[in-house]
Amino acid sequence: MIPVIERIRQSLVSLHMARALETLDHTLSRLEKGEINAIEAIDELLAEELNLREGRRIGVALRTARLMPVKTLESFDFSFQPSLDRRRIMALAQLEFIKRAEVLHFLGPPGTGKSHLATAMGVAAVKAGRSVYRCSLAELIEALTKAEREGRLAEKIRFYARASLLIVDEIGYLPITSGGANLFFQLVNARYEKGAMNLTSNRGFAEWGEIFGDPIVATALLDRLLHHAVVVQIEGASYRLRHHADLIPEHTRSHAAITPPPPTKRRGRIPKYGAAHPMSS
């Protein structure tokens, strides 16, 4: 007859519980010494296995979501950006905006932490079991343009519409053609009131007509992106250049705020969650 301990080992192997198998001897030793009881031993083995599997799940999800390297709110230097209200940012990390299919905007000059915060929101969402995808606006437009050329546009839009949270970074850094703007509008329209988005931009909304090369399309985009929205403005100098401030030309050290436009008025309907509510800091 096979000893009980050996049967347990075989069962753990068959169940692919590698971490529980690895810690079995240590747990049994603690049990024999009276440090834990039988129920606690079982709990310890299962907890070790679950922690390992959860870590693997998060790792795969972070890579799939393109959230590498990982950025977290704990590693964000709020002291360098006093315009940000830490408590309100941490409240956003509770992810209620995802449940409400809202659009979270981070606006501010280059280097002020917009991408860090957006990535951190994505990491928090992944850890909470939400599906996330992150890309720059230029990458997004390029992918949609290629899909349209190959006759796969609808399929590609469904791909980007699938995630619970879509993060679109670096809006305003590169000009977008009117064709690209129309493709982005189709995606935004597909996600409108269905899936949350997190956008980052170094330009105010009043400049989006210039960014997208078409004021009409920009207005249509903002009509949807500001209907259920949270706007977070970041003021201050570049975090990345903080050790080289003396090398930066004086005229680029502006702390001017990027002011959002008034809430978009929608005809014939009452906003489900109210108009865009700027989150001043």
Backbone CA torsion sign across 187, 190, 192, 198: negative
Strand partners, 231: 105, 278
Q: Hey, which bits of the chain come out as E strands?
A: 103-107, 132-136, 165-171, 196-201, 229-233, 277-279
Write down the pLDDT at residue 67.
97
Write down the pLDDT at residue 42.
94
Q: Contacts for 251-258 with beta carbons within 8 Å, 24 or more apart? A: 254/109, 257/233, 258/107, 258/108, 258/109, 258/201, 258/202, 258/203, 258/204, 258/233
Contact between 279 and 233 under an 8 Å Cβ cutoff? The reply is yes
- CB-CB neighbours of 35 under 10 Å: 11
Which DSSP string do the residues of 208-262 spell out, in sequence order? HHHHHT-HHHHHHHHHHHTTTEEEEE--S--STTGGGGGGS-GGG------PPPS
Residue at 120: amino acid letter: A
| Local confidence pLDDT in tens for the 281 residues of the chain | 678 999 999 999 999 999 999 999 999 999 999 999 999 999 999 999 999 999 999 999 999 999 999 999 999 999 988 889 999 999 999 999 999 999 999 999 998 999 999 999 999 999 999 999 999 999 999 999 999 999 999 999 999 999 999 999 999 998 898 899 999 999 999 999 999 999 999 999 999 999 999 999 999 999 999 999 999 999 876 665 555 445 445 544 444 444 444 444 444 433 333 334 444 33
Q: Where are the domains of the chain?
A: 4-63, 70-279
Homologous superfamily of the 70-279 domain (CATH): P-loop containing nucleotide triphosphate hydrolases (3.40.50.300)
Q: How far apart are alpha carbons 157 and 107 in whole angstroms?
A: 25
Q: Looking only at Cα atoms, what is the longest distance across the chain?
A: 83
Q: Which of 157, 97, 155 is nearest to 130 (CA)?
A: 97
The vertex-91 CA angle with 86 and 95, nearest 5°, equals: 135
Q: How many CA atoms lie within 13 A of 130 on its CB side?
A: 25
SS3 165: strand
Write down the pLDDT at residue 235.
86
Write down the pLDDT at residue 175.
86
